[in-house]
Chain A
Amino acid sequence: GENVEQHPSTLSVQEGDSAVIKCTYSDSASNYFPWYKQELGERPQLIIDIRSNVGEKKDQRIAVTLNKTAKHFSLHITETQPEDSAVYFCAPKIGGYNKLIFGAGTRLAVHP
């Protein structure tokens, strides 16, 4: 079956530092690559996504980069703030199917 791995599983940074989370997937037919943020006790919410015909996408302090050849994509958060503390999930879309496969998550802690 499809395999999705996220690294690291936990990440602790000082406020103002950058954070990078990497997601590796196995399905070469995947064509949609989102990142979701889940705060404690809340529902997951989409923060940024990218399609397979684009290598990078930015939205203010967050960016996603895609390497289709190597089958991985990464979330980059710059100038981290305490409110960035949450669990982040990658969820590549399975090629040809109408569904996402979620990674196990990365718990990001931003310390003031």
Chain B
Amino acid sequence: NAGVTQTPKFQVLKTGQSMTLQCAQDMNHNSMYWYRQDPGMGLRLIYYSASEGTTDKGEVPNGYNVSRLNKREFSLRLESAAPSQTSVYFCASRGSGGISGNEQFFGPGTRLTVL
């Protein structure tokens, strides 16, 4: 199993450009998440999807949109990138039930710079 994968690994954008970050998991998990991590800080939740067909806002949703394409895939879109969105973006997924049902598994991250 590949676990959680993210593309691209690195991206540089100019202010105002748009892009979509892709995330996929092969663990048959119901829940998926998008976080951002700024230097020296913790992870802040942008959006999450508790199950296929549902999405909810997290702590910092402004400037982002998400799509839960199917059970495997959860994408994050920046419609008009701003320098304040320079960050490392992590996708995560979580199963349900059992002893480890609450564990979130993280992808390798996308390092985004907005000039």
Contact = CB atoms under 8 A, between A and B. Distances in A.
Contacts, number: 45
Contact of B102 (A34, A43, A44, A45): A34
A49 B42 contact: no
Interface stretch (B14-22, B70-78, B105-113): B105-113
B25 interface: no
Nearest to A103: B42
Contact of B50 (A34, A46, A98): A98
Interface string A74-112: 000000000000000101010000111111110000000
Q: Is the interface of A mostly helix, strand, loop or mixed?
A: loop
A43 B6 CA distance: 12
Interface residues of B, number: 22
B98 to A, nearest CB: 12
B58 A43 contact: no
Given A98-B48, A98-B50, A98-B94, A43 B42 contact: no
Contact of A99 (B41, B48, B107): B48
A44 B48 contact: no
B115 interface: no
15 contacts: A43-B90, A43-B107, A43-B109, A91-B43, A98-B94, A99-B45, A100-B104, A101-B45, A101-B59, A102-B35, A102-B42, A102-B45, A103-B42, A104-B41, A104-B42
